[in-house]
Amino acid sequence: MQVSQDSDETILHLIAAQRDPKALETLYDRHSQTVYNVIHRIVHDPAIADDVLQETFSKVWQKAGEFSGQGSVAGWIFRIARNKSLDQLRRQKARPQPVASGFAGDKQALWGGLATAGTEVEQVIELHMSNHHLREALAQIPAEQRHCLEMAYFDGMTQKQIAEYTQTPLGTVKTRLRTGLERLERIFRAAGYRDEDIK
């Protein structure tokens, strides 16, 4: 059966009603990378993230018939992944580390990642600053804006995926991303970064 062009909702129905493994494979191909990113952001261990990813899609297979139809299938899968990740941390008696601790040395990747996510921000900032300064700047951003920025960069999620995951209107997500970047620019300017440092 050819399911590769079907909607997520149709594919999930095939899993629930016909136990079609090809349907699960299609759903996995569509969403596994982004789901993995969500998991890894929480557990900070590639091997554990791989295990949780398999657990997530195993639950999708088992519980496909329980999808309520509220929100998107992708958002439903993301929530399963998040819950499985937190369960794993509880089993390890561990706590999630702050996301900001994972910043790499190349800050340009942050802004490139956000631009790729389709934030429609007219000015993308290119900064050469320490991880410490970047963490401090993000800490000053309101949580709802900071979380959107983190999901766009760390998880590689599009605006639509962020909206689905957070169950927030797409327009609100766009506004939060844009406003978050604008706040970062103001913070950097106040910290003494020159115009030539902010392009």
Greatest CA separation found in the chain? 61
Q: How many CB atoms lie within 10 A of CB 72?
A: 19
| DSSP letter assigned to residue 102 | G
| Separation CA 101–CA 75 (nearest Å) | 26
Q: What is the pLDDT of residue 150?
A: 74
Burial class (CB in 10 A: 0-12, 13-18, 19+), 32: middle
| Residue 125 region by backbone torsions, left for phi larger than 0, else alpha for psi between -120 and 50, else beta | beta
Q: What CATH architecture is 99-197? A: Orthogonal Bundle (1.10)
| Separation CA 15–CA 164 (nearest Å) | 21
Q: What is the pLDDT of residue 154?
A: 58
Q: What is the pLDDT of residue 148?
A: 85
- What are 77's two structure tokens? 């899968």
Per-residue model confidence as pLDDT tens for the chain (199 residues):
566 678 999 999 999 999 999 999 999 999 998 899 888 888 888 999 999 999 999 999 999 999 988 778 888 998 899 889 888 888 876 555 444 333 333 444 444 444 444 433 333 333 334 445 666 777 888 989 888 887 776 566 788 888 888 888 999 999 999 898 888 888 877 877 655 554 4
Could you tell me where in the chain the CATH 1.10.1740.10 domains are found? 8-91
- What are 112's two structure tokens? 């490139």
- What are 65's two structure tokens? 């018939």
Q: What is the pLDDT of residue 156?
A: 66
Q: What CATH architecture is 8-91? A: Orthogonal Bundle (1.10)
| Separation CA 49–CA 40 (nearest Å) | 5
Q: What is the pTM of this model?
A: 0.57
Could you tell me where in the chain the CATH 1.10.10.10 domains are found? 99-197
